[in-house]
Amino acid sequence: MNAMEPSSRALAPLTVYGTELASRLFLGTAQYPSPEVLARSVRAASVDVVTVSLRRETARGNAGERFFELIRGLGTRVLPNTAGCRTAREAVTTARMARELFETPWIKLEVIANDDTLQPDVFGLVEAAAELARDGFHVFPYTTEDLGVAERLVGAGCEVLMPWGAPIGTGRGLANVFALETMRRYFPATPLVVDAGIGAPSHAARAMEMGYDAVLLNTAVAKAGEPERMAAAFAEAVRAGRTAYEAGLMEARDMAQPSTPVAGTPFFDVGKP
């Protein structure tokens, strides 16, 4: 390879619950202007996993059934979620329905505590995660950056953690970088996926540069002026961020450091001929 050419080495795949995923971008399927735009956006992003809300789409009746058929035809792995559930019991029931419908043990577990922030109910989350894990589910819990909650989720059988970057749909990016960095260090061997609040490709790249294993987003693509192009932009940002992390980022410094050392270099007196 020519020294001036970019490296074409593929990123290492992400392994979750024994499944290898080439893409480290998970894409939501809600709020797109049309099914066709959704399908083209999924293809543009080259994702391996899409998420779908069982409760939201089931409520749409026949339209929901057609949507499920579209999702099955995308050629990606489906990660159903329990969006809209406010108790552990609701979430467990919804997860079991999703397993039957999509024939997968994977479930993105959401138990919501607050209508304004859509913050996870961490007590109900741990309760539901433990029951679902005992029932053979592969649980992807949408949680906060709280280390105590994270430890309990791992203890309940979760092999993946999905802390929020910011409240769902806000687009504010990584609201608590220190806490996310701490979680990464505290769980070095656990796959971590930043879920919610991502609004720009730079937010996704930052999460990947921090060593997070993947990013899950929806609104930033679905509500973009050109969803397909935005999906492609996020895919590039995730790849760039992960490549940078694997290559090894320089450490930040408090003081300047010249890139060209002064010692041993010639000095010229511009005032003399």
Catalytic residue numbers, as ranges? 108
| CB-based contact 193:213 (threshold 8 Å) | yes
Q: Coil, strand, or helix at residue 239?
A: helix
Widest Cα–Cα separation across the chain = 87
Identify the CA nearest to 25 among candidates 249, 237, 188.
Answer: 237
Nearest to 142 by CA among 212, 82, 97, 100: 82
Mode of pairing for the β-strands spanning 49-53 and 77-81: parallel
* Nearest-angstrom CA–CA distance, 111 and 57: 18
Torsional sign, CA 139, 145, 146, 147: positive
105 vs 208: CA distance, rounded Å: 27
| Best CA proximity match to 95, nearest among 125, 121, 60 | 125
